[in-house]
Amino acid sequence: MADVHHESVFFSGHVQGVGFRYAVLQVAKEFEVAGYVRNLADGRVQLEAEGVEREITAFIDAVHERMHGHVRKVERQAQQRPAQFAGFSIQ
């Protein structure tokens, strides 16, 4: 199987308790992406996404734009790897 573009993204700021994960799930429906979003114990939100690089980039940009008032910092780590996800979910 061919490798896909994968990004691990960590959003910091006022990102828990504001519908962030649900908003990410709604945005994901607009793109050809797979993965998940979840809250972390340290107050950040983790987003794992894979697919075609331009779709992932547009997806993450759309999430940041929709939730810009809540996000103080975005950390992104990208890599190529075999696909691991089917669909997009909240964990």
Query: Catalytic amino acids?
Result: 21, 39
Contact 4, 31 (CB under 8 A): no
Q: Of 18, 9, 33, 32, which is closest to residue 66 (Cα–Cα)? A: 18
Torsion of CA 17, 57, 74, 64, to 10 degrees: -40
